[in-house]
Protein backbone atom coordinates (compact mmCIF):
# COMPACT_ATOMS: atom_id res chain seq x y z
CA UNK A 1 0.00 0.00 0.00
CA UNK A 2 2.87 2.35 0.67
CA UNK A 3 4.20 2.06 -2.94
CA UNK A 4 1.12 3.58 -4.52
CA UNK A 5 1.35 7.05 -2.97
CA UNK A 6 5.07 7.14 -3.89
CA UNK A 7 4.28 6.31 -7.54
CA UNK A 8 1.55 8.92 -7.58
CA UNK A 9 4.01 11.48 -6.27
CA UNK A 10 6.51 10.52 -8.97
CA UNK A 11 3.90 10.92 -11.70
CA UNK A 12 2.94 14.30 -10.29
CA UNK A 13 6.54 15.45 -10.07
CA UNK A 14 7.27 14.26 -13.60
CA UNK A 15 4.20 15.96 -15.02
CA UNK A 16 5.13 19.43 -13.80
CA UNK A 17 8.15 19.91 -16.05
CA UNK A 18 6.27 18.37 -18.95
CA UNK A 19 3.43 20.83 -18.53
CA UNK A 20 5.90 23.67 -18.34
CA UNK A 21 7.90 22.62 -21.40
CA UNK A 22 5.20 21.35 -23.74
CA UNK A 23 3.56 24.66 -24.72
CA UNK A 24 6.99 26.23 -25.25
CA UNK A 25 8.01 23.30 -27.44
CA UNK A 26 4.91 23.64 -29.58
CA UNK A 27 5.47 27.38 -30.00
CA UNK A 28 9.17 27.10 -30.75
CA UNK A 29 8.58 24.35 -33.29
CA UNK A 30 6.41 26.74 -35.28
CA UNK A 31 8.70 29.76 -34.92
CA UNK A 32 11.58 30.62 -37.20
CA UNK A 33 14.77 31.52 -35.34
CA UNK A 34 15.92 35.09 -35.68
CA UNK A 35 18.76 35.87 -38.07
CA UNK A 36 22.04 35.92 -36.10
CA UNK A 37 23.33 39.36 -35.20
CA UNK A 38 26.79 40.50 -36.18
CA UNK A 39 28.92 43.46 -35.18
CA UNK A 40 28.32 46.86 -36.77
CA UNK A 41 32.00 47.20 -37.65
CA UNK A 42 34.02 50.39 -38.00
CA UNK A 43 32.77 51.50 -41.41
CA UNK A 44 29.12 52.38 -40.85
CA UNK A 45 28.80 55.89 -42.31
CA UNK A 46 29.69 58.68 -39.91
CA UNK A 47 26.66 60.53 -41.28
CA UNK A 48 24.34 58.18 -43.17
CA UNK A 49 23.01 59.77 -46.33
CA UNK A 50 19.28 59.85 -45.74
CA UNK A 51 18.77 60.66 -49.42
CA UNK A 52 20.57 57.52 -50.57
CA UNK A 53 18.34 55.08 -52.40
CA UNK A 54 18.63 51.39 -53.06
CA UNK A 55 21.05 51.73 -56.01
CA UNK A 56 24.68 51.83 -54.92
CA UNK A 57 26.06 51.51 -58.43
CA UNK A 58 25.92 55.16 -59.36
CA UNK A 59 26.30 58.48 -57.64
CA UNK A 60 25.29 60.95 -60.33
CA UNK A 61 23.14 58.71 -62.50
CA UNK A 62 25.70 58.65 -65.30
CA UNK A 63 28.90 56.83 -64.29
CA UNK A 64 28.65 53.19 -63.28
CA UNK A 65 30.51 51.59 -60.39
CA UNK A 66 33.29 49.16 -61.18
CA UNK A 67 32.78 45.54 -60.25
CA UNK A 68 30.47 42.63 -60.82
CA UNK A 69 26.83 43.72 -60.72
CA UNK A 70 24.85 42.24 -57.85
CA UNK A 71 21.19 42.47 -56.95
CA UNK A 72 20.17 41.64 -53.39
CA UNK A 73 16.53 40.86 -52.70
CA UNK A 74 14.88 39.64 -49.55
CA UNK A 75 11.94 39.64 -47.21
CA UNK A 76 11.91 40.81 -43.62
CA UNK A 77 9.68 38.82 -41.30
CA UNK A 78 9.36 38.17 -37.59
CA UNK A 79 9.87 34.82 -35.91
CA UNK A 80 6.18 34.02 -36.37
CA UNK A 81 6.48 34.50 -40.14
CA UNK A 82 4.68 37.82 -40.29
CA UNK A 83 5.97 40.19 -42.98
CA UNK A 84 7.48 43.35 -41.56
CA UNK A 85 6.50 46.49 -43.47
CA UNK A 86 8.08 49.88 -42.96
CA UNK A 87 11.48 48.54 -41.90
CA UNK A 88 14.43 50.71 -42.92
CA UNK A 89 17.11 48.42 -44.36
CA UNK A 90 20.56 50.00 -44.64
CA UNK A 91 23.52 48.31 -46.30
CA UNK A 92 27.18 49.27 -46.68
CA UNK A 93 30.10 47.40 -48.17
CA UNK A 94 33.41 47.65 -50.00
CA UNK A 95 33.63 48.88 -53.55
CA UNK A 96 34.82 46.64 -56.37
CA UNK A 97 38.44 47.11 -55.30
CA UNK A 98 37.86 46.11 -51.67
CA UNK A 99 37.70 49.52 -49.98
CA UNK A 100 34.97 51.22 -47.97
CA UNK A 101 34.02 54.77 -48.78
CA UNK A 102 34.76 55.77 -45.22
CA UNK A 103 37.41 58.16 -43.92
CA UNK A 104 38.71 55.54 -41.50
CA UNK A 105 39.46 52.99 -44.22
CA UNK A 106 43.10 53.62 -45.08
CA UNK A 107 43.35 50.77 -47.58
CA UNK A 108 45.81 51.48 -50.41
CA UNK A 109 43.36 50.26 -53.05
CA UNK A 110 41.44 52.95 -54.95
CA UNK A 111 38.14 54.58 -54.20
CA UNK A 112 35.50 54.38 -56.91
CA UNK A 113 33.86 57.76 -57.49
CA UNK A 114 30.84 56.05 -59.02
CA UNK A 115 30.16 53.72 -56.11
CA UNK A 116 27.90 55.02 -53.39
CA UNK A 117 29.05 52.51 -50.77
CA UNK A 118 25.86 52.88 -48.74
CA UNK A 119 22.19 52.39 -49.59
CA UNK A 120 18.83 52.26 -47.90
CA UNK A 121 15.41 50.87 -48.68
CA UNK A 122 12.15 50.60 -46.79
CA UNK A 123 10.25 47.32 -46.86
CA UNK A 124 6.85 47.27 -48.52
CA UNK A 125 3.65 45.67 -47.31
CA UNK A 126 5.04 42.20 -48.02
CA UNK A 127 8.26 42.91 -46.12
CA UNK A 128 10.27 42.93 -49.34
CA UNK A 129 13.37 44.96 -50.12
CA UNK A 130 15.79 45.18 -53.04
CA UNK A 131 19.25 46.65 -53.65
CA UNK A 132 21.39 47.09 -56.72
CA UNK A 133 25.08 47.02 -55.95
CA UNK A 134 28.33 45.27 -56.91
CA UNK A 135 29.85 42.14 -55.45
CA UNK A 136 31.70 42.97 -52.23
CA UNK A 137 35.42 42.18 -52.28
CA UNK A 138 37.61 40.62 -49.60
CA UNK A 139 40.03 42.82 -47.69
CA UNK A 140 42.74 41.81 -45.21
CA UNK A 141 41.20 39.69 -42.49
CA UNK A 142 37.70 39.51 -43.94
CA UNK A 143 35.84 37.41 -46.47
CA UNK A 144 33.50 39.37 -48.79
CA UNK A 145 30.36 40.54 -46.97
CA UNK A 146 27.62 43.16 -46.97
CA UNK A 147 26.66 44.89 -43.73
CA UNK A 148 22.97 45.22 -42.86
CA UNK A 149 21.24 47.37 -40.27
CA UNK A 150 17.48 47.20 -39.76
CA UNK A 151 15.44 49.74 -37.84
CA UNK A 152 11.91 51.04 -37.58
CA UNK A 153 10.83 54.37 -36.19
CA UNK A 154 14.39 54.98 -35.05
CA UNK A 155 14.52 51.73 -33.06
CA UNK A 156 17.28 49.38 -34.09
CA UNK A 157 15.98 45.88 -34.83
CA UNK A 158 19.02 43.99 -36.06
CA UNK A 159 22.60 44.50 -37.22
CA UNK A 160 24.08 41.67 -39.23
CA UNK A 161 26.16 40.76 -42.26
CA UNK A 162 25.42 38.82 -45.43
CA UNK A 163 28.07 36.51 -46.87
CA UNK A 164 28.50 35.12 -50.36
CA UNK A 165 27.69 31.53 -51.36
CA UNK A 166 29.64 29.00 -53.35
CA UNK A 167 32.92 29.80 -55.00
CA UNK A 168 32.53 33.50 -54.30
CA UNK A 169 32.38 32.74 -50.59
CA UNK A 170 35.24 30.24 -50.51
CA UNK A 171 37.03 32.33 -47.87
CA UNK A 172 34.08 32.21 -45.46
CA UNK A 173 35.54 29.24 -43.60
CA UNK A 174 38.61 31.28 -42.70
CA UNK A 175 36.68 34.33 -41.53
CA UNK A 176 36.66 34.61 -37.75
CA UNK A 177 33.43 36.58 -37.56
CA UNK A 178 31.56 34.21 -39.85
CA UNK A 179 32.89 31.15 -38.04
CA UNK A 180 31.97 32.65 -34.66
CA UNK A 181 28.30 32.06 -35.49
CA UNK A 182 26.87 28.77 -34.29
CA UNK A 183 27.29 26.20 -37.05
CA UNK A 184 23.61 25.29 -36.96
CA UNK A 185 22.55 28.78 -38.05
CA UNK A 186 25.65 29.98 -39.93
CA UNK A 187 24.06 29.25 -43.30
CA UNK A 188 21.35 31.78 -42.49
CA UNK A 189 23.93 34.51 -43.08
CA UNK A 190 24.74 33.36 -46.60
CA UNK A 191 22.85 34.84 -49.53
CA UNK A 192 21.09 32.33 -51.76
CA UNK A 193 21.81 32.41 -55.50
CA UNK A 194 18.69 32.62 -57.63
CA UNK A 195 18.70 30.17 -60.53
CA UNK A 196 16.11 32.18 -62.43
CA UNK A 197 17.86 35.50 -61.85
CA UNK A 198 21.63 35.36 -62.45
CA UNK A 199 23.55 37.91 -60.42
CA UNK A 200 20.91 37.96 -57.70
CA UNK A 201 21.22 36.83 -54.10
CA UNK A 202 18.25 36.37 -51.79
CA UNK A 203 18.81 37.30 -48.17
CA UNK A 204 15.67 36.83 -46.08
CA UNK A 205 15.89 38.28 -42.61
CA UNK A 206 14.05 37.19 -39.47
CA UNK A 207 13.84 39.66 -36.61
CA UNK A 208 12.84 38.99 -33.04
CA UNK A 209 9.54 40.60 -31.93
FE1 LIG B 1 32.98 44.98 -43.21
Q: What is the pLDDT of residues 38-80, one digit of tens each?
A: 999 999 999 999 999 999 999 988 899 999 999 999 999 999 9
pLDDT value at residue 17: 46
Mean pLDDT of the chain: 89
Reply yes or no on whether the pLDDT at 23 is more than 50.
no
CA of 43 to the centre of ligand 1 (A): 7
Cα dihedral 17, 21, 23, 28, rounded to 10, equals 180
3-state secondary structure of 85: coil
Reply yes or no on whether the pLDDT at 28 is more than 60.
no
Domain 32-207 has CATH 3.30.300.30: no
CA–CA gap between residue 65 and residue 91 (Å, rounded): 16
What is the mean predicted confidence (pLDDT) over 129-142? Answer: 97
CA of 69 to the centre of ligand 1 (A): 19
CA of 79 to the centre of ligand 1 (A): 26
Please give all residues whose CB falls under 5 A of ion ligand 1, grouped by chain where several chains appear.
41
CA–CA gap between residue 160 and residue 194 (Å, rounded): 21
CA of 145 to the centre of ligand 1 (A): 6
CA of 29 to the centre of ligand 1 (A): 33
Amino acid sequence: MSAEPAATRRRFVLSLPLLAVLPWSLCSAAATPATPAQMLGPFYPLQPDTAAGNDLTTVDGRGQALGTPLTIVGRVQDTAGRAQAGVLVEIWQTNGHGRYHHPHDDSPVPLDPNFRGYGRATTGSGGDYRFRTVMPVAYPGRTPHVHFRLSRGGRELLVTQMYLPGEAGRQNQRDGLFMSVDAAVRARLVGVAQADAPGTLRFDIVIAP
